[in-house]
Amino acid sequence: MRTLKLHFPDEALPTLETFLKQTKEARVFRRAQAVREVVKGHRLQTVSDTLHFTYSALRKWVHRFAHQGVQGLADRPRPGRPPKVTCALAHHLDRLVDQDPLQHGSNHSQWSCQELATVLARQTGVQLSRESVHDVLKKKTSATAVPRGGSIPSPLTSPLPRSNLPP
């Protein structure tokens, strides 16, 4: 393996430290962590083995950082159709789940994925399938199981656990 012949400016490390505190994307965060270790003087092979990057991928990110700064660590546009569920739409869905379905004209006290999709379409104009709503909720609440196509308990109407019931 060839030695890395890049020299980083003195402000490279503080720039990466600041960037790590500000970034919210996990993939970009991991790249910045790995590049930071290389800037600190660790060998590419050691960092790639430790952080589970391929050597070539880490080398690419280090070169991009050297030539473009922290902007070089961001994802480049990918070909294909952009995702229908944006971050803002997922946040809107999160807020909607926390509301009582009865306030939105539902006949039931618990949300179903289909009802969430219908209300979301009415409020935002974006048509999502029941499965897409389910997938968004599943990603958000991996600890809380959401039945496939089933209903999601409303926080206002969820029954108390049996251990909390009076004797």
User: What pLDDT is stored for residue 8 in this prediction?
Assistant: 86
* pLDDT, averaged across the chain: 83
Given pLDDT bands bounded at 50, 70 and 90, which one contains residue 156?
very low
pLDDT digits (tens, 9 = 90+) for 53-90: 999 999 999 999 999 999 999 988 889 988 788 888 98
User: What pLDDT is stored for residue 141 in this prediction?
Assistant: 63
Other beta carbons within 10 angstroms of residue 65's beta carbon come to: 26
Residue 144 has pLDDT above 70, yes or no: no
Residue 151 has pLDDT above 80, yes or no: no
Residue 163 has pLDDT above 50, yes or no: no
Query: Residue range 160-165: average pLDDT?
Result: 46
User: What pLDDT is stored for residue 85 in this prediction?
Assistant: 86
pLDDT digits (tens, 9 = 90+) for 34-54: 999 999 999 999 999 999 999
Q: Per residue, what are the HEC states of the chain?
A: CCCCCCCCCCCHHHHHHHHHHHCCCHHHHHHHHHHHHHHCCCCHHHHHHHHCCCHHHHHHHHHHHHHHHHHHHCCCCCCCCCCCCCHHHHHHHHHHHCCCHHHHCCCCCCEEHHHHHHHHHHHHCCCCCHHHHHHHHHHHCCCCCCCCCCEECCCCCCCCCHHHCCC
Query: Residue range 4-30: average pLDDT?
Result: 89
| Residue that wins the pLDDT comparison between 16 and 150 | 16
- Return the domain boundaries, the chain: 12-73, 87-155
